[in-house]
Amino acid sequence: LLANVNKWSFNVFVLDWFTNGHSFPYLVTHLFHTYNFIRTFKLDALKLYRTIRLVELGYCKTNPYHNSLHAADVVQAIHCNLLEENIYPHMTSLEMMAAILSAACHDLDHPGVNQNFLTSSSHYLVSLYNGVSVLENHHWKGTISILHESQVFQHLPSHQWKRLTYLIEILILATDISKQQEILRKFKVDLTDKHVHSHRHKQTIVQIALKCADICNPCRSWKVSRKWSQLICEEFFRQGDREKDLNLPLTTAYDRTQSTTAKIQTAGFMSFIVEPLFIEWDKFSPSHRSKQMLLNLRCNRVKWAEIEKKENEEVDGSIRRQSNTTLVS
């Protein structure tokens, strides 16, 4: 299975089944060996494995979507993104390791609700981070805490440690969806020549690579993409349930009695968030893989639209039948 890790068709659900729910440590450890990080940075293999397990345990198993399986999927996706021929040759080992670690930890200790819920419920994290990128700040700081606790990088020279932690911070913070337009504008301006040279340019590239990896589910094959859609929507619906229970403002799309997975998938996320990001990625790094991502996205969008249309027709039919029954009565 891991022999196919370079392919966009890789199915992390299959790996998770074969590893009895532990795809995350298997995949991350495999990539640390693949990129030769252990030898390059003289890492203690046991400490490394303990670190990876700590991260895995830092994800909430009961979250339908934001769990270690999603993290594993994002790790595989950024691995694919950074393999492109106009990127990988310019990356240092430290930058590659920071990218893999950031992908692995980007949703660490995610509570299964969004920032709006945390704000409405007066969660302490909102006060702690002044309402700015609350979850993302929580994720990257939790990551650094685990790295300190495990001491896996305690032997690194100070300049490498500072660089590593800095990259982890800016990469995970970049996954804040509210910052997408800002980062995308920077990407368009800075990288029109398609060359990767300075630290600043590479940082922007990896930020975009991680953002693409984080929201790549609509760009997977239909079978895989549909499964992810069902999981994220179940998490949304659970948030809606909690909003009702706590008498908080109800997010309309998260009301399981009024919404459906198809309605959420066709509401604009694919067209206005995912597609613009992947179009720019394809412009910067055109490849068979990037073309496949966009093709999958557009095919999946059509399929969700067809499903929503069918659902609407069924609802209309049900309403007509009820009306006829009422008239007869």
Mean pLDDT of the residues in the chain: 95
Q: What is the pLDDT of residues 32-61, one digit of tens each?
A: 999 999 999 999 999 999 999 999 999 999
**Residue 201 is among the residues annotated as catalytic for this protein:** no
For the chain, the domains span 2-328
Answer yes or no: is 66 a known binding residue: yes
Answer yes or no: is 107 a known binding residue: yes
Structure confidence at residue 326 as a pLDDT band (50, 70, 90): low
Structure confidence at residue 110 as a pLDDT band (50, 70, 90): very high
Structure confidence at residue 315 as a pLDDT band (50, 70, 90): confident
pLDDT at position 190 is: 74
What one-character DSSP code corresponds to residue 250?
P
* Other C-beta atoms lying within 10 Å of the C-beta of residue 242: 15
Contacts of 209 (CB under 8 A, 6+ apart): 78, 81, 82, 87, 99, 281
**Active-site residue, from 66, 79, 110, 139:** 66
CATH assignment, 2-328: 1.10.1300.10
Q: What is the pLDDT of residues 142-179, one digit of tens each?
A: 999 999 999 999 999 999 999 999 999 999 999 999 99
pLDDT at position 44 is: 98
Answer yes or no: is 94 a known binding residue: no
Answer yes or no: is 67 a known binding residue: yes
